[in-house]
A and B are shown apart, each in its own frame.
Chain A
Amino acid sequence: MSTDLLNTLVTSAIWRAEQLEERVGSASLAWAEVSSLEEELAKALPASQPEGRIARRGAVRAALKAGDFARAQALVERYAAEKEAIPALRKALHQLLEEDARTLAERFHHAAKAVDDARGLARWLQEGGAFGLAA
């Protein structure tokens, strides 16, 4: 698929996601589609190019909007490890995750300091199930 076509698809997918968000309130699937298309663009465009960096940030941001934190985290790790990734891109990608943590801390302000703990525990639960017994 050409990058021109991918760009067109991304633009219309973002429009659909925003419309859904405005009218229905939730648009997880639409944002997941945006994230997948941005990821395809990122494959076609190197991180050394501004468009490549935009696509990488877009893929992560859309994954977070889709509520798929695990995917967002995996994308950040992958993109930050690329040879062509400049420090500013790495910083911007990590900032997206930090911003998401801040939003969570604001929502649950009594346990604001426990966001990192909660994420670690969720991973532990996902891997090992109740009491970690299935690990």
Chain B
Amino acid sequence: METLAFYSYKGGVGRSLLLANAARFLASLGKGVVALDFDFEAPGLHYKLGHAAHRESRLEGGAVPYLVATAREATSPPPLEEHMIQVPVPPGSGGWLRLMPAGPAPDRAYWAALKQLGEQVRFDDPSGQGLMPLLDLHARIREELKPDYLLIDARTGVTELGGLATTVLADTVVCMFVANQESLDGTLMVAEALKAAPRLKAQRPIRIVPVLARTTSDLPVEGPFAEGVKRLLELAAPADKKETRLFELPHDEVHGASPLDKAYLELFEELAAKPGTVK
């Protein structure tokens, strides 16, 4: 199982939408995919992946209620299926897609569960009691569902859960930003932190895939922004290279739909390629 976390320092860059599209794309290639919404304070992946299914099935579960239940009585954790939605994929593709939403947001029950989670689970508890439910969920998805890919929507900004989803759970972090200095500087700071963060014993070094969203044709080629992008590409480079490529998702209104489709496909090809494999 390859775990991809989708992260952006600032919101509104199209992170959740990119994750939803990547999930559908990988499933349409015949892959088994689990999408996990860790954007607990503003969950919305269930709107982008099977909102209708969510409403019809009146799902009450999700990552937050699951973690609350697991932290309380981990010896008999609830079945994963009770907390997931099966998202339809193109017939004949051979793939599958399951979504673990954050929970039944925006129902009030969801916010009550989130409050409970905050009271019960402290991720920095030195006994490990707070982190184990999270590591256990990750391992359980790998063991029981055996997906090819786990895609995590990591919360925007600098938060404990966003940090854990990217530094601890992810093999690859898709770092999205837009063409302004504020967005880039925050992304650079987080990319540096990702490279320096501790990893689990069995994990390989983290892979960073930089994605510039809503790009336009008049990007500066010199000055602080251009220098920042260069630094980001150097940070994201694998050990055997000086720098990596920047994936640009063009703005629809400027380029029309077709270049965006092409850019999406190029990026998905990169994400689908597990490091060490020949494309």
Interface string of A16-27 (1 = CB under 8 A from B): 000000000000
Known A110-B140, A110-B143, A118-B135; contact A131-B167, beta-carbon cutoff 8 A: yes
B74 A133 Cβ-Cβ under 8 A: no
Q: How far is the CA of A67 from the CA of B201 in the complex (A)?
A: 26
Q: Using Cβ atoms and an 8 Å threshold, which residues of chain B touch A86? A: none
B74 A69 Cβ-Cβ under 8 A: no
| Interface residues on chain B, size class | 35 or more
Query: Shortest Cβ distance from A74 into chain B, in angstroms?
Result: 10
Chain B binding surface SS class = helix
CB of B198 within 8 A of chain A?
Answer: yes
Partner of B133, one of A108, A109, A125: A108
- Contacting chain A: which of B41-49, B155-163, B257-265? B155-163
Known A107-B74, A108-B133, A110-B143; contact A118-B158, beta-carbon cutoff 8 A: no
Interface residues of B in 131-151 (CB under 8 A from A): 131-133, 135-140, 143
A119 B75 Cβ-Cβ under 8 A: no
Q: Using Cβ atoms and an 8 Å threshold, which residues of chain B touch A115? A: 128, 132
CB of A29 within 8 A of chain B?
Answer: no
A131 B190 Cβ-Cβ under 8 A: yes
| Interface residues on chain A, size class | 20 to 34
Known A108-B74, A129-B160, A130-B158; contact A122-B197, beta-carbon cutoff 8 A: no
Interface string of B106-137 (1 = CB under 8 A from A): 00000000000000000111111111110111
Q: How far is the CA of A118 from the CA of B197 in the complex (A)?
A: 14
A130 B139 Cβ-Cβ under 8 A: no
CB of A98 within 8 A of chain B?
Answer: no
Interface residues of A in 72-116 (CB under 8 A from B): 73, 100-101, 104, 106-111, 114-115
CB of B189 within 8 A of chain A?
Answer: yes
Partner of A119, one of B126, B137, B138, B193: B126
Q: A109-B136, A110-B139, A123-B126 are in contact. List 4 more A-B contacts (CB 8 A).
A: A67-B129, A107-B74, A108-B135, A120-B198
The 4 closest A-B pairs by CB, nearest first: A69-B127, A118-B128, A110-B139, A108-B136
